[in-house]
Amino acid sequence: MKEQPTMGGKSPRTLCIDIGGTGLKSMVVSVHGKALSERSLVEIPRPATPRAIGAALQKVIPGRAVFDRVSVGFPGVVVDGIVRTAHNLHPSWAGFDLATWLLRTTGRPTRVLNDAGVQGHGVVQGRGVELCVTLGTGFGFSLFVNGHYVPNVELGHHPFRKGKSYEDLLGEAALKKRGRKRWNRALGHAITQLQETFNFRVLYLGGGNARHVAIPLPRNVKTVDNVAGMLGGVKLWERD
């Protein structure tokens, strides 16, 4: 996929798009991470097919004169801009070339990454093992080693406790069904398991449901603002 040069020689402005399990968000951000527009938000249509979400995306994409490039966080495995899985959207996403579709739609160079990976890019410090978990419709996960992203580690679908996956016990459905107390208890067990598995230096908890965290957190576990999922889109353009 050929990338176009930055317009006018100015610092590039990034249109950051977050495709979540329940909503689509977008915001134009400066190269220094400053918001240059209000955040736009629309609900995810159902069924959440590429065609339906493509139509919804048209509502949050501003005029091309206000941005130079596009970064997208997607809730699933993405390889070279092509979606491989989308557990919380629709099976028809498998094989969809989202990066090329957005390039053709916006006329701007586009990079697409797993959404937890994008959020992680916005918060990691670049030292040692760092994890980012997004608590939302599902259970997003990203792993960084000395600032380098390890792509598409879908830990959310791995076995966790009593035959259930991390997403089974910590996704949106579990929060609603089991209640905040049991959900927080499961989160505590998950943090312990992640520490014993990855020996992380820092674990960042983000996503819309991070606001429901109500347990004491270890000193190396931090909650982060959900806007990091947008600002991390700028960092995608600093990758090798």
Burial of 183-198, coded b for 16+ CB within 10 Å and e otherwise, reads: bbebbeebbeebeeeb
| HEC per residue, 41-71 | EEECCCCCCHHHHHHHHHHHCCCHHHCCEEE
pLDDT digits (tens, 9 = 90+) for 24-62: 999 999 998 888 998 899 999 999 999 999 999 999 999
Q: What would the CATH number be for the domain defined by 7-117+231-238?
A: 3.30.420.40
The predicted model gives 17-23 an average pLDDT of 90
Same fold, 7-117+231-238 and 125-225: yes
Q: What would the CATH number be for the domain defined by 125-225?
A: 3.30.420.40
pLDDT digits (tens, 9 = 90+) for 62-103: 998 999 999 999 999 999 999 999 999 999 999 999 999 999
Query: The pTM is what?
Result: 0.91
SS3 22: coil
Model confidence band, residue 240 (pLDDT cutoffs 50, 70, 90): low
| Alpha-carbon distance values, 79 to 68, 90, 115, 220 (Å) | 23, 17, 13, 30
Query: What residues form DSSP beta bridges with 114?
Result: 74
Domain coordinates in residue numbering, the chain: 7-117+231-238, 125-225
Q: What is the pLDDT of residue 190?
A: 98
Looking at the predicted structure, is the pLDDT value of residue 22 above 90?
A: no
Name which of 149, 171, 185 is nearest 73 in CA terms: 149
> Residue 161: in which H helix or E strand, if any?
strand 159-161
Looking at the predicted structure, is the pLDDT value of residue 8 above 60?
A: no
Query: What residues form DSSP beta bridges with 70?
Result: 15, 110
